[in-house]
């Protein structure tokens, strides 16, 4: 199974990136994830046809498990992440990809955002969004056990779907 | 695999019921689904502890695949269906259940409702909501091929998860 | 200005009711609100045509300011409240009514629910939902100052709209 | 009353822009709206501190009525528009601004998006989002009467709030 982490934080090498990698490794410990830190793609995301953006899209579409990780800005995922998701074809762009929506926030008030706001976009572009959205405290995720509990609960579903998509 | 259809239409034996059965059969042709037409549970749904409601909850929680079918009232699922979902324990009530959100409407304007509104409630009570929400035209679903296309696309995911949950 | 509080808690005389009255009084101190504790309407809410339900609908539709208050069940408003909202005509049932969505929860995790989930139903039935949704801690609302801060911020908008609707 | 139209279409001088101007003029016929076509701001939107972006933010924050117009990409508003909204302070950035969420789509399937998805972001940054979201057919809006009917219904609320904000 190939695994990719897509990071929608406008700051490079962010805690969002770190948390996304942790989620990917917890769900699939035996696979080292590829990482796409969207901010490094720069203005190419504002249009269509940029080669680096196209390569990133192909990497994601060819992955079996993709963690989409975003900080919470104005109570939802970032515009940076949305720009990237707009590069995929509607309905089919993420066909066969198990997509996991992850958001980080300073406090718990926006905990509904991954399931109510981010997951529907992934569904719209055809992903298999079989796991619940995961909301993480951006200062606590490394130690609070939330990622580990999530992985323990949902790794079996990841494995089950791998059987299918193999 | 045991399959159940939960019907949240205040009119008994509704098109919602018919459509829900069709979805269940399309996803799992070899299993005859059980049907829970919520309106028949009556005022017992307004409180907690009603024996018939409790039996319905147990049937659903013990199923492997459950289609939750509702008409669209005021741009979302019905209060009748919500009353029933409130009978389940938060986080665990539908653990291990593959839940499929289905809504029917007169026109396409509310097509986002299954994914944006109904699915998150199923997720909140612990379901594995691995399939996208399905929105059906309430006068066209029997013939328009939407159920068949949905089943063709998503039955493999149903089967993959059955392997796991067996 | 006539003011009404609609309470969607299946327990009568709940903290939801108390909080709803406090919100109404904070927004309109000079008017004693009418209160509709939906649970007292009983099974009449499960169908159409019940006289007591009809009277409640008329009271709400004739009010200028209505606080719709619900506990948070399964991360959203209650089925009890939804049953009542289904009694209104789509698009026009709450025409000219300034509707305020209020939800109470044990912790902050569902704070997005009033704006993402409850307010759209009020909009669908024609309300003027000019104020942001208000989410209250169900054990802290009486003392934490949240209602007072909300009223201070938004009472001018209530007054401005009264000018119009007078 | 100062009026501004913010356009979140990655194509300059789009139908989104045209529709947004029509909505603004219909709600406030006596005022010629300012127009901010976000695509012209370019890569400055990807960070913080760009002077042209800052000027656009100040124009919007100083307006009394702002139409936020976006095409529907992947069933929601664009990343381009979100990048701009992230430039405002949470809770207060649009304080005192009457904000109108408008989205255009090819068909009616995403008609819930303005109220369920775009409006909550405007509310999060402090806007007075007193009008329902408006969803327009991107090939029909100029002639189908939807804008006119919306303006007839809601212009009185715009006027009432102007009294307050004057």
What was the pLDDT predicted at C166? 39
Domain range spanning residue C142? 3-160
Choose, out of C115, C154, C162, the residue to mutate when testing the contact with D (most D CBs < 10 Å). C115
Distance from the first to the final alpha carbon of chain B: 8
Alpha-carbon dihedral A122, A126, A130, A131, rounded to 10 degrees: -20
Question: A165 in a domain, yes or no?
Answer: no
Q: Where are the alpha helices (DSSP H) in A4-50?
A: 15-27
What was the pLDDT predicted at B165? 46
Question: A20 in a domain, yes or no?
Answer: yes
pLDDT digits (tens, 9 = 90+) for B44-101: 999 999 999 999 999 999 999 999 999 999 999 999 999 999 999 999 999 999 999 9
Per-residue pLDDT of chain A (166 residues; tens, 9 = 90+): 799 999 999 999 999 999 999 999 999 999 999 999 999 999 999 999 999 999 999 999 999 999 999 999 999 999 999 999 999 999 999 999 999 999 999 999 999 999 999 999 999 999 999 999 999 999 999 999 999 999 999 999 999 998 434 3
pLDDT digits (tens, 9 = 90+) for D127-141: 999 999 999 999 999
Give the Cα separation of B133 and B148 in Å (integer).
14
Strand, helix or coil at D144? coil
| Strand boundaries in A72-161, DSSP class E | 98-105, 134-137
Average pLDDT (B26-30) is 97
CATH code at position A152: 3.40.50.360
| Strand boundaries in B8-151, DSSP class E | 34-37, 65-71, 98-105, 134-137
CB of B19 closer than 8 Å to CB of B68: no
pLDDT digits (tens, 9 = 90+) for C79-116: 999 999 999 999 999 999 999 999 999 999 999 999 99
Question: B132 in a domain, yes or no?
Answer: yes
CB of C145 closer than 8 Å to CB of C134: no
Choose, out of D111, D120, D156, the residue to mutate when testing the contact with C (most C CBs < 10 Å). D120
Question: A166 in a domain, yes or no?
Answer: no
What was the pLDDT predicted at A130? 98
ipTM of the complex: 0.96
- Chain D residues closer than 8 Å to A83 by CB: 79-80, 83
Helix (H) or strand (E) segment spanning residue C104: strand C98-105
D90 closest CB neighbour out of A74, A86, A121? A74
For the cut 70, the answer to whether the pLDDT of residue D156 exceeds it is: yes
CB of D139 closer than 8 Å to CB of D129: no
Question: D140 in a domain, yes or no?
Answer: yes
Question: D41 in a domain, yes or no?
Answer: yes
Q: Do D157 and C128 touch (CB under 8 A)?
A: yes
The count of structural domains within chain C is 1
DSSP lists the bridge partners of residue D4 as D34, D66
| Strand boundaries in chain A, DSSP class E | 3-7, 34-37, 65-71, 98-105, 134-137
Of C141, C136, C119, C138, nearest in space to C128 by CA = C119
Question: B165 in a domain, yes or no?
Answer: no
CA nearest to A127 within chain B: B132
CB of D31 closer than 8 Å to CB of D11: no
Question: C165 in a domain, yes or no?
Answer: no
What was the pLDDT predicted at A166? 39
Q: Do B115 and A119 touch (CB under 8 A)?
A: yes
- DSSP assignment string, B95-115: TT-EEEEEEEESSGGGTTHII
**Which residues lie below 8 Å from residue C112, measured CB to CB, with a gap of 6+?**
A75, A109, A110, A111, A112, A113, A116, C135, D120
CB of C166 closer than 8 Å to CB of C2: no
Give the Cα separation of C144 and C139 in Å (integer).
9
CB of A11 closer than 8 Å to CB of A80: no
pLDDT digits (tens, 9 = 90+) for D45-67: 999 999 999 999 999 999 999 99
Average pLDDT (C156-166) is 75
What was the pLDDT predicted at C162? 81
B110 closest CB neighbour out of D75, D107, D112? D112
Of C8, C71, C70, C4, nearest in space to C38 by CA = C8
CB of C161 closer than 8 Å to CB of C100: no
What was the pLDDT predicted at B1? 74
Of A123, A67, A131, nearest in space to A93 by CA = A123
Q: Do C132 and D112 touch (CB under 8 A)?
A: no
pLDDT digits (tens, 9 = 90+) for C149-158: 999 999 999 9
Give how far D80 is from chain B: nearest CA, Å.
Answer: 22
Choose, out of C73, C77, C106, C109, the residue to mutate when testing the contact with A (most A CBs < 10 Å). C109
Of B154, B152, B79, B71, nearest in space to B113 by CA = B71
Q: How does the average pLDDT of chain C come out, rounded?
A: 96
CA nearest to C114 within chain A: A112
pLDDT digits (tens, 9 = 90+) for A84-128: 999 999 999 999 999 999 999 999 999 999 999 999 999 999 999
What was the pLDDT predicted at A164? 37
């Amino acid at each position: 199974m190939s695994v990719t982490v897509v990071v929608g934080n406008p700051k490079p090498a962010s805690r969002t990136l770190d948390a996304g990698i942790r989620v990917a490794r917890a769900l699939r410990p035996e696979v080292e994830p590829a990482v796409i830190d969207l901010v490094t793609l720069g203005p190419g995301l504002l249009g269509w046809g940029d080669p680096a953006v196209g390569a990133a899209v192909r990497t994601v579409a060819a992955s079996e498990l993709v963690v989409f990780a975003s900080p919470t800005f104005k109570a939802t995922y970032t515009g940076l992440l949305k720009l990237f998701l707009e590069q995929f074809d509607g309905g089919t762009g993420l066909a066969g990809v198990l997509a996991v929506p992850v958001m980080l926030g300073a406090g718990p008030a926006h905990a509904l955002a991954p399931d109510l706001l981010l997951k529907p976009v992934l569904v719209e572009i055809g992903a298999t969004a079989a796991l619940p959205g995961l909301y993480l405290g951006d200062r606590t995720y490394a130690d609070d056990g939330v990622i580990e509990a999530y992985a323990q609960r949902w790794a079996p579903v990841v494995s089950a779907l791998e059987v299918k998509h193999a």
